[in-house]
Amino acid sequence: VSCSLRPLGPAHRARLEQLTRGAGLFREEEVATALELLDESLAGDDDYRFVGAFDGEQLIGFACWGPTPGTVATSDLYWIVVDRDRQGSGVGSELLEDVEGRLRADGGRLVVVETSSRADYQPTRKFYESRGYDRTATIPGYYAPGDDLVIYTKELTTGQLARATP
Ligand SMILES: CC(C)(COP(=O)(O)OP(=O)(O)OC[C@H]1O[C@@H](n2cnc3c(N)ncnc32)[C@H](O)[C@@H]1OP(=O)(O)O)[C@@H](O)C(=O)NCCC(=O)NCCS
């Protein structure tokens, strides 16, 4: 798939909702959160940034990220979603590279992604692992009994800065 990456506007809200729900992984509450973040971003809130992947005029994926409050140049990648029918064809990688490139250009240091230990998130974890993300931490039972929070991180600079002095 060749896709182009562009900013999102208000006209993309309904399609973003459809994509997020259509991923088949997220709870309704999480779908609502994605839309709230888009609304805040469109209202000019710099805490949440979005980029869309398009096939022609059609939105086929998006990423959402923002600076992590209270940190020095750390960012959270809040969402990355690709149309179910087009997963596995490189769109997610293009989105991720775009986000990382923007963060690097902006002096970004560390990217943090939160995901789940559930079996249905296995392809998602593999996606991050084969793109240079380390499985840094786990909080057992965080989401629900047997559903851990898994935190992935990627250092964008020297690989030294994120470490505490021993
Ligand atoms: C995770 C996701 C964003 C990856 O995007 P993508 O366009 O499918 O990924 P790419 O085609 O660039 O890369 C494929 C890689 O991702 C992994 N992957 C994840 N989900 C996949 C899927 N449904 N189909 C095929 N590969 C998938 C594969 O392991 C593959 O790894 P490889 O290149 O080392 O073989 C996308 O599959 C998706 O939207 N998943 C559901 C939502 C989600 O889990 N989002 C992340 C949490 S917010």
**pLDDT 10s digits, 108-122:** 999 999 999 999 999
Provide the residue type at 127 as one letter. Answer: F
Q: What is the pTM of this model?
A: 0.94
Q: Is the CB of 126 under 6 A from ligand 1?
A: yes
Query: What's the CA gap between 123 and 125, in Å, rounded?
Result: 5
Minimum-distance ligand 1 atom for the alpha carbon of 91: 7
Per-residue tens of pLDDT for the chain, all 166 residues: 578 999 999 999 999 999 999 999 999 999 999 999 999 999 999 999 999 999 999 999 999 999 999 999 999 999 999 999 999 999 999 999 999 999 999 999 999 999 999 999 999 999 999 999 999 999 999 999 999 999 999 999 865 554 555 5
Minimum-distance ligand 1 atom for the alpha carbon of 87: 8
